[in-house]
Each structure stands twice: as C-alpha cells, then as structure tokens.
Structure 1
Amino acid sequence: MLNKLDDFPVHQTPEPIAVPATSDRNVYDRTWFNGYARDGSYYFGIGMAIYPHRGILDCAFSVVEPGGRQHCFYASRRAPSERTEMQVGPFRLEVIEPMRRARVVLDDNASGLGCDLTFSARTAAIQEARQTLWSGGRRAMDATRFDQFGRWRGAIRHPDGTIAVDDEVCLGTKDRSWGVRRVGKAEQGGSPAKPGGAFFLWAPLVWDDHISHAIFFDGPRGEALVREGIVAPLYASEAEVPGVEDGLDRRMADARHRVVYVPGTRLAQSAEIDLVDHEGRTRTIALAPILRFQMKGLGYAHPTWAQGMWKGELEIGHESFDPRELNMLAPENIHVQQVVRAGDGARAGIGVLEQVCIGPYAPAGFTAHFDGAKG
C-alpha cells in the first residue's frame, strides 16, 4: 500500500503511510474550511475526509445567504490508497503550499453548485490540545487538530445566483484533524449502546491584529472535559506567515462560556466567552449571531449523507432547504455554526460560533435528549 508520501521522511510507524497506527474502524483524517463575509452576507463550508478502515473518501460543499436557501453538494467514493489523491467526482482539494495556501474546486454538476476558491493563511498553524473523550473504557474520540485563520478569493455559483469572493471581505478558518471519532454506520453486536450526549462549543474569532480561539467539550452536568483558550498573532499578508508554527500563540490558564438559547431550541441567541490569562485577568467576549449555517450541509448527522457512510464506488447528491423552516430540535438540525459579531468592550471582531448540544445538559436546563430552552 505504498503511495507518494512514502517517498518523504515522515513515517511514524514501521508501516507505509497508508496504514494507520490503529485498527479502530473509526480512524479518520479530515480537512475542513469555513468562509464568511465580514458583514455576514454569506457563509460557506467545505469538508473532505478519508476513513481508511472503512474504505471511504467523502466531501461536501455548502453555502447560505441571509434570507435564502442553503445549498448543499455531497459526494462519496471508494477511498484510494494514494493519500495525495483528494478528488471525489467534480470536487477536488489542492494543497498548493502546505500551511499557506489551498485551492478548492467544484466543477459543474447536477447540484447547480460550483466554486473555484483559494484559501490564503494569515496565521501560523495553531495546534489545539489533544482531545480525548471516553465512553466507558473505550476512547470515543482521540484526535489532534490544528487551525489556521486566513482569507478567501474566487467565485461561487449556486442555484440562486453567484458570489464574487474577495479576500478583502471574506475571512475563514482551516481546520485539520485526524485520529479516531465516531463516524459512519454504528458498530453492530454486543449489548445495545446506551443513549449518549455531547456538548461542544468552538469559537474562532478574528480581531484587528490577532485571533482568539476557544474550544469546549462539557459533560452533562457542565463539567469540563476539554477547555482551551488561545490568542495568536494575525499577519498582514500570506508572505509573512511562518511555514509551520511561530511559537507566539498564548495559551490561557482557563476559558469559560455562557450561552443564552433561543426559547424552544438549543440554538444560541447570544453567548459570552471568558479568556483567563495566567495573571488572573479575564477578557470577556460577547458574541451576537448574524447568520446561521446548518452543519448537516457538510454531512454532520445528515439522515442520508452522514460522514463516513458507504454510498458506493462513486455517488453524488445534493439538496437545498430554507433554514428558517427547519425543526431546530430535530437531531440533524442541532449542530450549527453561526457567523457572530464579537466585542470585548474595547475592540470589535468577527468570527463563528459552532455548537452542538445533545442529551441532558444541566447548565441550560435540558433534561431530555432533544428538549429546548424554556422561554
């Protein structure tokens, strides 16, 4: 199972690169992006992942504008053994320069969606702390992730029109993660799995001269499973960005969150994040949503296009829906990202707030699997 990457000195085990170090069927390797206008006039999301032990490579592209429909493209194929082959039908991802520039192309297809977009980094790569979550004695998630903040240039075509993407206007986040997490068809056999829950917040924000980032996984009582706050420099141009890491990211001593929910839903109406530095100073950031994106448009919890599901040798799908007409307590609609305006009393920023809350969660008063906030 040799591939082109085996010609580089990058091996971590005695096996070829195409052979994962774990036999867990849920091993994955994923590239994910978002892009959004500074004024919240559009948002798009992109994802591609390989699941080596499931033999699947899948991808998705989705875009939404205020008051309009969200348009979604999905594709899945048998995974190639060549890891540099990142194409599924009309969709392809090109790494032009690692950790600096990438290109995403979606050629003409039956969905009416298409794009030619180039991501240009404005931060060094920022590694999040390793995220390990347990289900009994088994790791339900064990992953490494790094993020980069940047800008987009190019064009998007969708069934309702076109978007000229200008890098003076369009910001975005690149998210690379790999490891193990629950994806695809559930394992069969053994005792029936007990219903599980999840609480996750992820808040990458862009300010004038820096970025801030906060990551939270909570247990059902609100106990901290993962808490991380990060502040890092924002560079004026791609040419100034170091090739890998710059060592200038500052890790906070603590991070906290507070969410006010839209009554009858699990959707954030507003939120606050506290970044607490090692001298005990607290920076409180208020977040105000201005545009919602449904993550099912990238396969998350999608009833038919969930990530890591075998669809065939090559299969392509698409759909459009009005986000305003969704049942926000349906399982596939819980997971969202929202473009948010950010403020800390002295500065203004822009970014996204990603959230998913499934199952009981005491701080919000949720007691059932999919009940909503009390009015």
Structure 2
Amino acid sequence: MMSAQDDLIGHQAAAPFAQRAGNGDARFTERYWYTLHPVSGVVDGVPMIIDIGMGYYPNKGVMDVFAGITVGRKQHNFRASRSLGATPLEAGAGPLRIEVVEGMKLHRLTLADNDSGFSFALDFEASFPAAQEKQNYRERKDEVEEDMVRISQFGRWRGWFSIGGSRHEVEPKTWWGQRDHSWGIRSAMLTDEAAPPVQRHSGFFWTWSMFQFEDMGISIFLKEREPGKPHYLSASEFVRQADGSVTHREATGATHDLEWADDPLGQTITRGSFTLAFADGTPRTVHMEGQAARFYLKGGLYGGFGGWNHGDHKGAYHSGHDVWDLDDAATRAKARTLGDHVVTASCDGRKGVGISEYGVAEGYALYKGPQKHPAL
C-alpha cells in the first residue's frame, strides 16, 4: 500500500515504505522517547520529571503517544492513539506533536490543551553527540525475537509546561534531560494484569542509565544473568575538551554495586556505582543517588495498562488520561518497576544528574531484597 511517505526520498528497497518495514513484520516499531527534569531535582521545592514518547507501527497502521509528569507523589498521564490513515508522516496523535527541526540537534515537542490538564511547548537542544547502541539482536527457537537499533542523546531543554493551571518556564541551565530513538523488531512486553497472560521473569539484572555532567555524558545499557558477566553491554562516554571538541569512548566491561531501599511497594535504588572499563586501560566510576522524582512507564503503556498496549488499534482516534497516587499500594502494583528514576551523579569531582531504569529478577545472585517485586 502506498502512502504519503512514498512521495519522499529515502527508499531502500523496490517496494513501498509500509511493505518493507521489518519485511512486513507486525512487530516492527519505531519509537521516540524523551525525559526532562530540573537539575536541582525540584520546582518550588517539589520533585518533578516529565516523560514523553511516540510509537510508529507501519505494519499495523497505528501511531500512539504519551506524555506525563510526576509532581511530588502524583503521576499525571496522557495517552493517545490514531490510525495512520493518509498522514503517516505526522509524528504525533491528537494534541501531541513531535518535530525534528534539525536532526541530532534540535527537536520540538508540543502538547496542546487537553482534558488531562497537562500541556507544554518544549525544545530539546542536544548537548553531546548521539550514541549508537550495539545492535539488540536475539533469537529464540530459531526465530528472531528482537532486532533493534537505538540511539541515545543528552540535551538541555527550553520552553514551558503547564500542569493543573500552573505554568512553569524551562531554561537550558536548569532543565537537563535525554532522549532516544529506536527502530526495528521489538520483543513483546506483556506485564498488564488486565490482559493476561502476564510474562514472568527470572534470574537477571538490567539497567539503562544516562548520567550528564557539564562537560561529560555517560550512557549505560547492561543486561546480565551472572554478576560481573554482562551478556549485553553498550556504554558510551563523551567528554567535551577545553577547545570544544568532544572525545568518545565505548566501554569494554562494566561492574556495579547498588543499594536498594526497603520499599514495600516496589524496587527502588537508593545509591550505588557503576565502573566502566575501556580499551585504553583508564576506567571510569560513576556514583549515583536516587532522588524522589520517578516516572513509571506504565503511564506510557510500556507492557500495557488497563488492556491497552503499544501498537493496539484503537480506531481513528482514541485518548485517555489519569492521575496516579504513587503512595497507594494498588496503584504501585499496577505501575510495577519499569520507570525513569531521577538520580544525582558524581564522577572524578564532577557533579551531574540523570535517570536510571533498572530491575532485578528473582534468582539473580545479588540484590535479593527487591526480588520480591517484578523486575519490569
């Protein structure tokens, strides 16, 4: 089937775009994801983090979006889905739009007024080059389960947002963040109790963490079943030199030492460190401390929520919104573990901030305490 996209350049096969995406695999997904948070951790004394995302499913004819903000112990969520129809190139749905003004440098995100009470006009301004992660490729029983490309990038934010009628200005000096862009075959994540069967996980630890300093950025994606022996590691370091040039290293190894809160409602890291090894022999250790702000990605339909998952066809247009009390046990049980947890970071005298996503599943040799809660 031809679409408006086929009137542009960029074809890489003798077929329409929609036909060639992932060789027609319905799982083929392209996603944008962004977070921003105040460098101080708070706005007027209140912890905050904003998460925004979009998913494009060319072989399902669907695009979905989310935007949310955690304010103190309340998480506000907006979600929407639309059929691609005749406008597959419009990155957004309903009131939410994403525009790549200049690739790898400037993205513009807007959420117009809507019933959730959350709106914004925000620019992501890249502060370091984008890092391309190692290919995520996995087979199971001779079938491709995952084959995905992802880039991640640090940035500073500019613009404004409004929540509950209160408007806040966003300036690059005081609001930092990160983004990613991924595409390919994604393995299914099914963790919605409202839509069984629910996946159960065992015997692994994982983290996807990004730490930003004034002159350095470090990103880590690590998965392991045995402590100290990652079966997947993609970690990048960018350092801005005095002359403005940026050096880049890729880690060859990683270890971690983490402390966990005695949290009766879920998995929560309080502090810890990651040590990266590099081919030149000079390691780098980042120390982090978990802060109060955290956005649980269930609010953006990761793993599904309330019977609605990424890529589900919901008609020409569908939207929803809600507010979660993160101190409520039933709400946290539904939110599970996967989330963007704001952290402060220190490294070789530098002070910075970032986010950490993480989880540890029952049967992993370390960190037994939090294993009573789900890893994702």
TM range (shorter): 0.7 to 0.9
Q: Answer yes or no: is 1:227 the counterpart of 2:228.
A: no
Residues 215-224 or 199-208, more deviating: 215-224
* Equivalent residues of 2:135, 2:147 under 8 A apart: yes
Counterpart Cα distance in 1 of 2:310 and 2:63: 9
- Kindly tell me: are residues 278 and 220 of structure 1, through their superposed partners in 2, closer, same or farther at Cα, counting changes over 3 Å? closer
Q: Which runs of 5 or more residues in structure 2 are unaligned?
A: 43-47, 192-196
Residues 5-14 or 165-174, more deviating: 5-14
Counterpart Cα distance in 1 of 2:85 and 2:361: 34
CA deviation profile, 1:15-50 (whole Å, cap 9, x unmatched): 222331323221100111111110112210100011
Identical counterparts, % of pairs: 27
* Equivalent residues of 1:220, 1:360 under 8 A apart: no
Match of 1:325?
Answer: 328
How many residue pairs end up in the alignment? 358
Counterpart Cα distance in 1 of 2:236 and 2:190: 34
Instruction: Please give the residue correspondences for 1:72-83 in structure 2 after superposition, counting only pairs within 5 Å.
Output: 72-80=77-85, 82-83=87-88
Given the alignment, which residue of 111, 117, 137 partners 2:116? 111
Match of 2:221?
Answer: 215
Instruction: Please give the residue correspondences for 1:84-103 in structure 2 after superposition, counting only pairs within 5 Å.
Output: 84-103=89-108
* Equivalent residues of 1:329, 1:370 under 8 A apart: no
Deviation at 1:180, TM superposition (A): 1.0
Match of 2:184?
Answer: 179
Deviation at 1:11, TM superposition (A): 2.5
Match of 2:357?
Answer: 354
Q: Secondary structure at the match of 1:320?
A: strand
Q: Answer yes or no: is 1:308 the counterpart of 2:311.
A: yes
Match of 1:252?
Answer: 251
Instruction: Please give the residue correspondences for 1:329-340 in structure 2 after superposition, counting only pairs within 5 Å.
Output: 330=333, 332-340=335-343
Residues 314-323 or 126-135, more deviating: 126-135
Q: Secondary structure at the match of 2:68?
A: strand
Amino acid at match of 1:320: V
Deviation at 1:90, TM superposition (A): 1.2
Amino acid at match of 1:351: G
Amino acid at match of 2:123: T
Q: Secondary structure at the match of 1:18?
A: helix
- Kindly tell me: are residues 119 and 27 of structure 1, through their superposed partners in 2, closer, same or farther at Cα, counting changes over 3 Å? same
Given the alignment, which residue of 284, 291, 294 partners 1:292? 294
Given the alignment, which residue of 36, 61, 65 partners 2:67? 61
Amino acid at match of 2:129: A
Deviation at 1:257, TM superposition (A): 2.2
Instruction: Please give the residue correspondences for 1:124-203 in structure 2 after superposition, counting only pairs within 5 Å.
Output: 124-159=129-164, 161-183=166-188, 195-197=200-202, 199-203=205-209
Give runs of ≥4 in structure 1 deviating > 6 Å. Answer: 366-369
Counterpart Cα distance in 2 of 1:185 and 1:309: 13
CA RMSD for the aligned pairs? 2.9
CA deviation profile, 1:261-285 (whole Å, cap 9, x unmatched): 2224422122211111213333221
Q: Answer yes or no: is 1:341 the counterpart of 2:344.
A: yes
CA deviation profile, 1:232-287 (whole Å, cap 9, x unmatched): 14599xxx89xxxx8x4211221222322222442212221111121333322111
Structure 1 or 2: larger strand share? 2
Amino acid at match of 2:92: Q
Counterpart Cα distance in 2 of 1:333 and 1:110: 26
CA deviation profile, 1:83-103 (whole Å, cap 9, x unmatched): 421131111111112221111
Counterpart Cα distance in 2 of 1:32 and 1:317: 19
* Equivalent residues of 1:210, 1:232 under 8 A apart: yes
Q: Answer yes or no: is 1:11 the counterpart of 2:26.
A: no
Return the TM-score normalized by structure 2: 0.85
